[in-house]
């Protein structure tokens, strides 16, 4: 076979979609990736970039359309980078997303197909897969032909703006607001930012809407301290029904980061309010808040269901943002601890908890991958929850009456919670964070993921550490795109090659040393004095190390080469202290 090269045109049948939704076809065994082509399409394509074994090709013509192909709602869908699947029927979109998650769990996570079929629940789709975004960030540029300001979205893999003020995924108010801003820019000769020269004023426009409250927020991101005749714009935007906040974000850096570090309110409130699952949230321009509120309620309801809360549990919520998942959990948990790296988000989380009357939550600033390991090491070593890791944060956040509760039991509850919830960014969890989660031994881990590839990678680590995949469900939060959220439940498992048997003392042949304290008494002492929970297996292991005879059949593995959990160092020290206390060593 002669090598295909750039510029070659050929006809192929599309056989599959890749993880980004690009069509995959073959010509004489040579693989072609074709954007906007669907499974079942017979298409004419032009090779744009050729490699030895594959090429990227541009769709030139659909010769025979797939049965899944539909007429797209937006005329810009092929040029704009926002929607990858708008020409694919919604039922087929859901099937594609579910298949992508299943394949990643099998290929990257190493789970058998039978296991995935057993745990996967049907994907939760949208009733209306358009007009669902409560947030939009529009880049502002200059039309090269007319010289007029334009707003829209970047073409895929470029920073060329496709002019479009009426995105089919956003709310109707976006168009009204953008047209007012563009008219003001043209009338008052306010320049658009130029990424090449770094000149010009207006870079982006951020618009947020509360779906329940109807409140609107506009934030202009600008390359300067002031804007000319800003009063005219404010008066114009105030006319939009629901407008509650108009602000300015200064970003003078040569960067692709959209928002600046400071926000200045020009008119109205600093925040808008919205309700999610009966809980009111205050949202600032910088707040992380899920963009699809209708599906978010379904997503979080699944997370709460998987957590199996009864009202008594201790829960850690890592990557908690403004406390959305935390407060959903707090409605049914005993205590919820949230961790988030962004200080402003934590302040929002505390405020949201207070306004909604929650008294069983605490929020702390820090990276989850740093917070959890540092907290675990210090508390397990010193039994100190007040100063451990959070330092003065706990002193500031906890009242005098609450401080009295920070005893050994609370330390144990924090160290070994019932549930850990993680909702990490696309890169997934840091390995140090995963390792500490395994040390903390929660009964259940609920993992909310926006990237099933990193989810599968992390699940493999957690399952190798003693957890079992119990449930999984996809939730379509982003119709017309290739993205999908996944919620999974992991539970502690007892591996087949480990046996832990609870045996009453009267069933054992006790040595004189053993008779001085029961296993239950040792457990109670360790919990009270060190804030640690220890198993009979760990106690028997430490006894053997100290030369204390243990009944010969006590917690032995099935075979010599079987894997047994080994007592962690901090727990070994605590058990030895108990043995000394009872005069057994």
> Alpha carbon of 26 to those of 4, 54, 99: distances in Å?
12, 9, 21
Does residue 501 have a pLDDT over 90?
no
For residue range 285-324, what is the model confidence (pLDDT) as tens digits?
Answer: 988 889 999 999 999 999 999 999 999 999 999 999 999 9
The average pLDDT across 148-170 equals 92
163 and 253 belong to one structural domain: yes
Q: Long-range contact list for 183-188, CB < 8 A, 24+ apart?
A: 183/236, 184/229, 184/232, 184/233, 184/236, 185/140, 185/149, 186/148, 186/149, 187/232, 188/228, 188/229, 188/232, 188/233
What is the DSSP-derived secondary structure letter of residue 4?
P
Give strand pairing partners of 207.
Answer: 136, 218
pLDDT band at 37 (very low <50, low <70, confident <90, very high): very high
In a domain, 56, yes or no: yes
Q: Residue 532 is part of which domain span?
A: 505-581
Q: Are 356 and 279 in contact (CB under 8 A)?
A: yes
64 and 140 belong to one structural domain: no
DSSP letter string, 401-466:
HHHTT-SHHHHHHHHS-SEEEE---TT---HHHHHHHHHH--SEEEEEES-HHHHHHHHHHHHHTT
Q: Are 239 and 312 in contact (CB under 8 A)?
A: no
The average pLDDT across 365-392 equals 68
Which residues are part of the catalytic machinery? Answer: 450
Burial of 174 (0-12, 13-18, 19+ CB in 10 A): buried
How far apart are alpha carbons 191 and 351 in whole angstroms? 38
Q: How many CB atoms lie within 10 A of CB 566?
A: 11
The average pLDDT across 383-403 equals 44
pTM > 0.85: no
57 and 151 belong to one structural domain: no
In a domain, 438, yes or no: no
Cα–Cα–Cα angle for 437, 439, 443, nearest 5°? 65
How far apart are alpha carbons 228 and 248 in whole angstroms? 13
For residue range 202-255, what is the model confidence (pLDDT) as tens digits?
Answer: 999 999 999 999 999 999 999 998 899 999 999 999 999 999 999 999 999 999
In a domain, 197, yes or no: yes
Any idea how long the chain is?
585
142 and 46 belong to one structural domain: no
In a domain, 553, yes or no: yes
Task: Provide the pLDDT for residue 375.
Answer: 77
In a domain, 499, yes or no: no
Q: How many domains does the chain have?
A: 3
151 and 253 belong to one structural domain: yes
Domain boundary among 270, 291, 306: 270
Q: Are 295 and 475 in contact (CB under 8 A)?
A: yes
**Which tokens sit at 565?**
């959990």
In a domain, 445, yes or no: no
* 3-class SS letters over 114-176: HHHHHHEEEEECCCCCCCCCCEEEEEEEECCCCCCEEEEEEECCCCCEEECCCCCCCCCHHHH
Tabulate helix, strand, coil % of the chain (nearest 5). Answer: 30, 25, 45
Domain boundary among 240, 270, 300: 270
Does residue 200 have a pLDDT over 80?
yes
**Which tokens sit at 299?**
């997503």
In a domain, 301, yes or no: no
CATH number at residue 229: 2.40.50.1070
59 and 145 belong to one structural domain: no
In a domain, 297, yes or no: no
Region for 3 from its dihedrals, namely left if φ exceeds 0, alpha if ψ lies in -120 to 50, beta otherwise: beta
CATH number at residue 49: 2.40.50.140
Higher pLDDT, 397 or 381: 381
Cβ-Cβ contacts under 8 Å for 496 (sequence gap 6 or more)? none
Cβ-Cβ contacts under 8 Å for 433 (sequence gap 6 or more)? 318, 368, 369, 372, 373, 422
For residue range 334-349, what is the model confidence (pLDDT) as tens digits?
Answer: 999 999 998 988 999 9
Domain boundary among 270, 292, 314: 270
């Amino acid at each position: 076979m002669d090598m295909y090269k750039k510029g070659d045109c050929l006809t192929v049948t599309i056989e599959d979609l890749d993880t980004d939704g690009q069509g995959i076809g073959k010509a004489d065994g040579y693989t072609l990736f074709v954007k906007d082509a669907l499974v079942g399409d017979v298409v004419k394509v032009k090779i744009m970039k050729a490699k030895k074994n594959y090429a990227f090709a541009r769709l030139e013509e659909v010769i025979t359309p797939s049965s899944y192909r539909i007429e797209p709602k937006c005329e810009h869908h092929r040029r704009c980078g926002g929607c990858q699947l708008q020409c694919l029927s919604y039922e087929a979109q859901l099937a594609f997303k579910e298949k992508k998650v299943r394949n990643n769990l099998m290929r990257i996570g190493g789970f058998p197909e039978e296991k995935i079929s057993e745990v996967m629940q049907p994907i939760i789709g949208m009733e209306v897969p358009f007009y669902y975004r409560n947030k939009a960030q529009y880049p502002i540029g200059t039309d090269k032909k007319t010289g007029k300001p334009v707003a829209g979205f970047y073409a895929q893999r470029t920073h060329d703006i496709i002019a479009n003020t009426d995105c089919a995924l956003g709310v109707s108010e976006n168009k009204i607001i953008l047209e007012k801003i563009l008219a003001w820019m043209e009338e008052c000769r306010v320049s658009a930012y130029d990424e090449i020269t770094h000149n010009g004023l207006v870079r982006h426009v951020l618009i947020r809407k509360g779906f329940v409250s109807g409140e609107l927020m506009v934030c202009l991101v600008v390359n300067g301290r002031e804007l000319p005749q800003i009063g005219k714009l404010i008066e114009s935007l105030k006319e939009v029904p629901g407008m509650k906040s108009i602000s300015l974000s200064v970003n003078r850096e040569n960067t692709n980061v959209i928002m600046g570090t400071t926000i200045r309110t020009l008119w109205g409130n600093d925040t808008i309010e919205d309700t999610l699952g009966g809980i009111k949230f205050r949202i600032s321009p910088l707040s992380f808040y899920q963009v699809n509120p209708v599906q978010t309620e379904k997503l979080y309801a699944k997370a709460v269901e998987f957590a199996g809360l009864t009202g008594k549990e201790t829960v850690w919520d890592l990557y908690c943002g403004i406390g959305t998942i935390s407060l959903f959990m707090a409605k049914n948990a005993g205590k919820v601890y949230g961790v988030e790296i962004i200080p402003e988000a934590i302040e929002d989380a505390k405020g949201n908890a207070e306004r909604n009357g929650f008294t069983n939550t605490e929020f702390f600033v820090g990276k989850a991958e740093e917070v959890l390991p540092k907290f675990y090491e210090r508390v397990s070593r010193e039994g100190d929850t007040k100063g451990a890791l959070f330092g003065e944060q706990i002193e500031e956040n906890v009242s005098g009456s609450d401080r009295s509760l920070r005893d050994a039991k609370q330390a144990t509850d924090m160290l070994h919670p019932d549930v850990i919830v993680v909702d990490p960014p696309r890169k997934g969890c840091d390995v140090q964070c995963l390792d500490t989660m395994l040390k903390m031994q929660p009964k259940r881990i609920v993992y909310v993921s926006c990237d099933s590839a990193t989810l599968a990678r992390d699940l493999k680590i957690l399952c190798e550490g003693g957890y079992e995949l119990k449930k999984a469900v996809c939730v379509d939060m982003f119709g017309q795109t290739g993205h999908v959220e996944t919620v999974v439940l992991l539970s502690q498992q007892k591996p087949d090659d480990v046996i832990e048997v609870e045996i009453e003392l009267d069933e054992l042949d006790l040595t004189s040393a053993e008779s001085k304290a029961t296993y239950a008494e040792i457990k109670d002492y360790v919990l009270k004095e060190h804030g640690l929970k220890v198993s009979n297996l760990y106690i028997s292991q430490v006894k053997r190390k100290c030369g204390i005879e243990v009944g010969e059949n006590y917690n032995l593995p099935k075979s010599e080469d079987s894997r047994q959990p080994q007592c962690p160092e901090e727990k070994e020290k605590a058990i030895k202290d108990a043995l000394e206390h009872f005069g057994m060593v």
